[in-house]
């Protein structure tokens, strides 16, 4: 496949030990066809594409996202049990701007990873990653059930519910999913009224979107937020989590296409992830909008890598 780059050893560096103390020593590099069926395997797949951001008039650079997240993760300590595997499966790329094709290719690879019972962790790339990612999950679940029940939990400043009448962009993925899926289960955490216009709030209302605005998505309201997340998850059988790094305050995440000075803090995201993972419904996860061009001292890459580190070290029921 010309839009796929196999994993590379040179992307994984750090301190060395004789006991797999670091993740670059633990990670296995495998192309997707070589990955075996296993329940306790996390697979990293990069979406090195910022075509959707470009089309959405954003600041390009997110195609470099997967590499810097890997490089930060490589140096982090490995506390994984021996029976848990971490695999890097390489990157999807978008060399000629054919976003629709790349989203289709991504959906196919996600489908293959889920057929192998692994837990995909996708690294972006623009938030158009969500459309391909969701379709891969859907294809996999449709083999068992014609109408799978999938809830999307998006940590984001934005709804990303723009219409796709001019084609897909990083601002349209959830509009596309809403249009093609009935019912549409979508929970947004961290929405900012200074980053979404009236039409987007109206589309959210018409599509029955549940959302928590940024002023409420704070650690002080953990109890209430946990109740809302649990209530949302009750309605669905599977949960797909997508974390748009631009939802974090730019004090934590300057390296994104559309920064949020008044965004949320990592602590409430970690609390929420704990509840979601403990539910046993998390099927797949991605981290989107990492843009190394605007990062400062690798803070955003390290934040993204720490989120991956937290997820892979969590107990999956």
User: What is the smallest separation between the CB atom of 140 and Mn ion, expressed in angstroms?
Assistant: 23
Query: Which stretches of the chain bind Mn ion, using CB under 5 A?
Result: 127, 156-158, 160, 244, 246
Q: Closer to ligand NIG by CB, 56 or 300: give it.
A: 56
298: Cβ contacts below 8 Å, ≥ 6 apart: 68, 72
Reading the block at residue 104, the tokens are 């289709």
Please give the residue whose beta carbon sits closest to ligand NIG in the complex.
171
190's contact among ligand NIG, Mn ion, none, with CB below 5 to 8 A by partner kind, is none
Annotated binding-site residue? 267: no
Annotate 125-187 with DSSP letters as a single string.
SSTTHHHHHHHHHHHHHHTT-SS--EEEEEE-S-------TT---TT-HHHHHHHH-SS-EEE
171's contact among ligand NIG, Mn ion, none, with CB below 5 to 8 A by partner kind, is ligand NIG
Annotated binding-site residue? 13: no
- Distance between CA 307 and CA 147 in Å, rounded? 31
Q: Closer to Mn ion by CB, 38 or 210: give it.
A: 210
Q: Closer to ligand NIG by CB, 161 or 212: give it.
A: 161
CA-CA distances (angstroms) from residue 51 to 59, 186, 255? 10, 24, 17
Q: What share of the chain is helix, strand, coil (3-state, %, to 5)?
A: 40, 20, 40
Q: Closer to Mn ion by CB, 34 or 199: give it.
A: 199
Q: Closer to ligand NIG by CB, 197 or 206: give it.
A: 197
Strands 150-155 and 41-48, sheet pairing: unpaired
Pair 255, 301: CB distance under 8 Å: yes
Query: Which stretches of the chain bind ligand NIG, using CB under 6 A?
Result: 56, 58, 127, 158, 160, 162, 170-171, 258
Annotated binding-site residue? 18: no
Annotated binding-site residue? 91: no
Pair 214, 250: CB distance under 8 Å: no
Reading the block at residue 4, the tokens are 């796929």
User: What is the smallest separation between the CB atom of 160 and ligand NIG, expressed in angstroms?
Assistant: 5
- Distance between CA 206 and CA 32 in Å, rounded? 39
Annotated binding-site residue? 244: yes
- Distance between CA 163 and CA 263 in Å, rounded? 24
Q: Closer to ligand NIG by CB, 175 or 252: give it.
A: 175
User: What is the smallest separation between the CB atom of 163 and ligand NIG, expressed in angstroms?
Assistant: 11
User: What is the smallest separation between the CB atom of 290 and ligand NIG, expressed in angstroms?
Assistant: 12
Annotated binding-site residue? 158: yes
User: What is the smallest separation between the CB atom of 258 and ligand NIG, expressed in angstroms?
Assistant: 4
Binding-site residue positions for Mn(2+): 127, 156, 158, 160, 244, 246
């Amino acid at each position: 496949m010309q839009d796929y780059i196999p994993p590379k050893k040179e992307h994984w560096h750090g301190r060395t030990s004789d006991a797999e103390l670091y993740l670059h020593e633990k990670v296995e590099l495998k192309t997707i066809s070589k990955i075996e069926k296993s329940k306790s395997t996390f697979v990293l797949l990069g979406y090195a594409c910022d075509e959707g951001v470009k089309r959405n008039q954003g600041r390009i650079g997110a195609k470099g996202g997967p590499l810097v997240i890997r490089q930060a993760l490589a140096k982090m300590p490995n506390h994984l049990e021996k029976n848990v595997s971490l695999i890097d499966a390489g990157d999807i790329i978008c060399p000629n701007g054919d976003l629709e094709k790349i989203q289709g290719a991504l959906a196919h690879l996600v489908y293959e990873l889920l057929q192998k019972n692994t837990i995909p962790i996708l690294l972006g790339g623009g938030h158009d990653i969500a459309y391909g990612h969701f379709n891969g999950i859907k294809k996999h679940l449709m083999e068992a059930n014609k109408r799978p029940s999938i809830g999307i939990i998006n940590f984001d400043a934005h709804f990303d519910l723009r219409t796709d009448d001019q084609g897909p962009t990083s601002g349209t993925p959830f509009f596309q999913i809403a249009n093609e899926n009935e019912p549409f289960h979508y929970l947004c955490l961290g929405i900012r009224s200074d980053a979404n216009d009236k039409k987007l709030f109206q589309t959210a209302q018409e599509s029955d979107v549940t959302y928590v605005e940024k002023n409420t998505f704070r650690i002080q309201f953990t109890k209430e937020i946990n109740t809302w997340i649990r209530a949302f998850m009750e309605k669905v059988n599977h949960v797909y989590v997508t974390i748009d790094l631009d939802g974090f305050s730019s004090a934590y995440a300057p390296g994104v296409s559309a920064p949020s000075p008044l965004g949320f803090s990592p602590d409430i995201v970690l609390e929420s992830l704990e509840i979601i993972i403990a539910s046993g419904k998390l099927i797949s996860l991605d981290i989107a909008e990492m843009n190394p061009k605007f990062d400062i001292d690798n803070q955003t890459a390290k934040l993204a890598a720490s989120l991956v580190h937290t997820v892979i070290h969590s107990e999956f029921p």
